[in-house]
Amino acid sequence: MADKEIDDHSKAEQIMKDLESCEASDAEFDRLIGMLMNEVRSHIADEEENLFPMLRDTATAEALDELGDKVRQAKKLAPTRPHPSAPDKPPANKLLAPGAGLVDRLRDALTGRGKKD
């Protein structure tokens, strides 16, 4: 199940990376957006129908709260841009993701990406 989740995320990351090189007026952009929407919708449906119910059935409320805290902490260090060529399996992903996240946040700060107007 974890391998499938990693594979799903890798597919979406690659599509997002491909989108970075397209102009919105390009026909390829529309095709990639469609692919990304399908990938994300499928992934969300799978999580809601399979992963989350299994977690609720097997984990205590305290364990789920702890897991939620870990996810929120990880998001603070996670990359903000797709890095499809980066390792996606432990231990390499855990070692490199914070560095990529730091570089992404610096780049975001310099470009103003993500700032609310």
Confidence of residue 5 (pLDDT cuts 50, 70, 90): confident
Q: Could you give the angle at the alpha carbon of 84 between the alpha carbons of 81 and 90, nearest 5°? A: 100
What would the mean pLDDT of 92-111 be, rounded to a whole number? 79
Q: What is the pLDDT of residues 59-87, one digit of tens each?
A: 999 999 999 999 898 888 778 777 777 77
Cα(26)–Cα(3) distance, rounded to whole angstroms?
Answer: 33
pTM for the structure as a whole: 0.65
Torsions phi, psi for 84 (to 5 deg): -65, -20
Q: Does residue 18 surpass a pLDDT of 80? A: yes
Supply the pLDDT for residue 64: 95
List alpha helices for 1-117, DSSP H. Answer: 2-20, 27-46, 52-58, 61-77, 92-111
Whole-angstrom distance, CA of residue 68 vs CA of residue 86:
25
| pLDDT exceeds cutoff 70 at 117 | no
Give the Cα separation of 112 and 117 in Å (integer): 10
Chain-wide mean pLDDT for the chain?
87
**Joined tokens for residue 84:** 């499809």
Give the pLDDT mean for 89-106. Answer: 76
pLDDT at residue 20 greater than cutoff 90: no
Check residue 69 and give its pLDDT: 94
Could you tell me which residues come within 8 angstroms of residue 81 by beta carbon, excluding any fewer than 6 positions away?
Answer: 16, 104, 107
User: What is the rounded CA–CA span in Å between residue 94 and residue 100?
Assistant: 11
